[in-house]
Amino acid sequence: TLFSTQSPFDLLIAGTAALTPQENAGFQLFGRIGCAGCHAGSLMSDNRFHYIGVRPAAEDSGRMIVTHRVADLGAFRTPSLRNVGLRSSFMHNGRFSTLAQVVDFYDRGGDFNAPNKAPAIRPLNLTPVEKAQLIAFLTRALTDPRVASQSTPFDRPSLYSESAFVPQVLAVA
């Protein structure tokens, strides 16, 4: 298991660095509007399952497939936000391709409702400046530069199938 622990946010917590003013404003906003309720702790995730309105709950069973509890209909695990700025798709179904789309989704309070929708998912009425601050915090501040540059220990591992140890067929009899 690898732990990404050298993001600017980690260094802020350690007292060895500071965030930019825009990132800091985004961090404060992150806590004020309730994001930290689910995206908390060292992994920036509560590791719990929530329905947030990405799709109609009845069309996307989610955790209910495992628990058979109606309360888990459409619920998916809260993902970690560590290195979230490096991702190319977001939400459990890859519906969004930018963090701006994700912030807009949460700003409008999700797209679908159900009785088990998480209470924290509600219209936020963020200004364009607040959205930019939030995105600034989510991108550089939560990204470990070693992960971004794919340097040790976060370099891409070689798969066995890519190694010189895989037997080669030289001739077919």
List pLDDT tens digits, range 85-106: 999 999 999 999 999 999 999 9
Position 132 pLDDT exceeds 70: yes
Predicted local confidence at residue 109, as pLDDT? 97
What are phi and psi for residue 123, nearest 5 degrees?
-55, 135
* SS3 (DSSP) at 96: strand
Helix, strand, coil content of the chain in percent (nearest 5): 40, 5, 55
Contact 18, 137 (CB under 8 A): no
